[in-house]
A and B are shown apart, each in its own frame.
Chain A
């Protein structure tokens, strides 16, 4: 974590650092960070949540997509200081009680990944897509994930994975969580 010098030096407050309060995957954090620290670096290097990937680092590829107050955002294109008072969800927050989220289950069962690099961002975008539109058409799915690139070009199975999750999430509850 060499890049986070303030942390090592004992977090001396200065005009270019700030203390934020942010809830990540339900856990509140208080952190003193450099103003210039990107959200993706905060998640990966400070909180050690390395499920969120850095792909292009230019807000094109979507590998770093997380949910900020439930809305998808490219975490390489936001500063961590902007998260003060907000709730962030990463791919690590999808699983609940040892049970995969239906989107994770869909990507597993429908083989919605090849190399896996885009997968965390792809799944976070999918979760938000289905929250806004529980029963999307294939066209709506493809438009909905158009901010996420799969370099393996495995889109056919990614679409199937999201369709699986859509169907699963619309099933009437069977006493499960």
Chain B
């Protein structure tokens, strides 16, 4: 299955890549892992006139922690999330998601930057980045700017990223003491997009109540969703069974799934309710030192 033909550029620097994007005025796409884009091109869902392959640009693939953040280079393959000790020990939500994205072979190519910037509501990392309150660094002809994950997603495949910009880095704030996070995905089979999936980060305070909670939802709306009412509700709560049940109901209210072969609307909203309850419980358990 051949896609329509296109011009192909393999720049060696970000500046060169941005120059190609700028020159093509919205008709060019960045090719990173290509694991979503190439399939869409084969199906004619995307027909870019040019591809700008950023795989040859050095220093875009890294996982490192600085004094403020976990920094993920955009070209980091999603397979790396589960192999990183710093992620497994301090940001386990990203290891959870890393094990659920597509399948192991696809994860060897698919990138973290592509997963967060593609804008498909089925991508797993956007909800995680929303829960983690991550910031995206994007570079364009006018320089570098930073966009919060919670303001990045506008509609399906529509994001704050301009056609002449490249997302270069994801910055996740370092966890404060008492932080726990988790991602749980209900999928019909390996490789499918979520029927419903829930990303949670909580901070358990010294008194044992929740100082904060943030909940992101995958594939139950036109974009990844920040379930703000459910998140807000949990603040100051003990995190007992009735608190979790109420948070699940509020998260289900925030979901706007469509009916498709993953299930009817009511079912998918109900799965948001159940999986929110469970995932908040997992995040709290991790905050208290559990797995």
Chain A residues within 8 Å of B, Cβ to Cβ: 3, 15-16, 18, 34-38, 41, 57-60, 62, 65, 71-74, 76-79, 81-82, 84, 125, 143-144, 146-148
Contact = CB atoms under 8 A, between A and B. Distances in A.
B42 to A, nearest CB: 7
Contacts of B103: 62, 146-147
B34 A35 contact: no
B55 to A, nearest CB: 7
Contacts of A79: 8, 31, 34, 38, 51
B109 interface: yes
Max chain A C-beta neighbours (<10 A), residue from B6, B31, B105 = B105
Contacts, number: 85
A112 B1 CA distance: 29
Contact of A36 (B2, B31, B104, B105): B2
A38 B108 contact: no
26 contacts: A15-B7, A16-B8, A18-B8, A38-B2, A38-B38, A57-B42, A59-B35, A59-B39, A59-B106, A72-B104, A73-B108, A73-B109, A77-B39, A77-B106, A79-B8, A79-B31, A79-B34, A79-B51, A82-B31, A84-B10, A125-B104, A125-B105, A143-B104, A146-B191, A147-B102, A147-B191
B53 interface: yes
B4 interface: yes
Contact of A72 (B2, B10, B31, B105): B105
Interface in B102-134: 102-106, 108-109
B191 A60 contact: yes
Nearest to A71: B108
A76 B3 CA distance: 11
B5 interface: yes
Given A3-B2, A38-B1, A79-B31, 20 more contacts: A15-B7, A16-B5, A35-B51, A36-B6, A38-B2, A59-B106, A65-B105, A72-B104, A72-B105, A72-B108, A73-B109, A77-B39, A79-B8, A81-B53, A82-B34, A82-B53, A125-B105, A144-B104, A147-B102, A147-B105
Q: How large is the interface on B (under 10, 10 to 19, 20 to 34, 35 or more residues)?
A: 20 to 34
A3 B51 CA distance: 21
A78 B34 contact: yes
B8 A81 contact: yes
Please list the 8 inter-chain residue pairs (A to B) with the smallest Cβ-Cβ separation, ordered nearest first.
Answer: A147-B103, A147-B105, A35-B8, A16-B5, A146-B190, A36-B5, A72-B105, A57-B1
Given A16-B7, A77-B35, A77-B38, A146 B2 contact: no
B7 A82 contact: no
Contacts of B34: 77-79, 82
B50 to A, nearest CB: 9
B108 A82 contact: no
Contacts of B191: 60, 146-147
A65 B104 CA distance: 11
Interface string B141-185: 000000000000000000000000000000000000000000000
Contacts of A15: 7
A82 B55 CA distance: 9
A18 B6 CA distance: 11
Nearest to B108: A71
A133 to B, nearest CB: 11
A76 B1 CA distance: 9
B5 A35 contact: yes
